[in-house]
């Protein structure tokens, strides 16, 4: 009986671990460049020109960003952006623009561009990891 309980607990633990395994984020250089332009126009006023030196917004790069998002899928920061940013017009940038800004933020946190764009689909983003 104890063996079965131990095996069941191991299976549950392994299943939970497998569910949290995420692929590295992908985005194109062009997407990150579009995101930078949007960031400079819409986000820099609060988050700062270096993404971590704004007077009003939380840091979007460096240790604070990494510590907050490292164990979550990219759907989490994407949803925050779509639902809360910019504060004067939440959701007003359009879904593709938010994906572009997220690509720029990822690039500023050490992720390298690839051939595949970052999706603007929360379900797909949930399967991708933020850089560590």
Percentage with pLDDT > 90 across the chain? 81
Instruction: Read off the pLDDT band of 27 (50, 70, 90).
Output: very high
Average pLDDT for residues 52-76, to the nearest whole number?
94
Question: Minimal CA–CA distance to 25: which of 94, 96, 124, 97?
Answer: 124
Domain definitions of the chain by residue range: 23-129
**CATH class given for the domain over 23-129:** mainly alpha
Q: Three-state SS for 54?
A: coil
């Amino acid at each position: 009986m104890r063996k079965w309980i131990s095996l069941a607990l191991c299976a549950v633990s392994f299943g939970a671990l497998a569910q949290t395994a995420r692929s590295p984020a992908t985005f194109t250089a062009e997407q990150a460049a579009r995101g930078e332009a949007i960031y400079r126009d819409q986000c820099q006023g609060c988050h700062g020109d270096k993404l971590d030196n704004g007077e009003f917004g939380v840091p979007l790069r460096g240790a604070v960003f990494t510590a907050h998002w490292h164990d979550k899928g990219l759907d989490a920061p994407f949803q925050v952006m779509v639902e809360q940013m910019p504060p004067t017009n939440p959701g007003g940038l359009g879904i593709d623009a938010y994906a572009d800004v997220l690509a720029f933020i990822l690039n500023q946190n050490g992720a390298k561009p690839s051939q595949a764009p970052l999706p603007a689909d929360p379900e797909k983003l949930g399967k991708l990891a933020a850089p560590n």
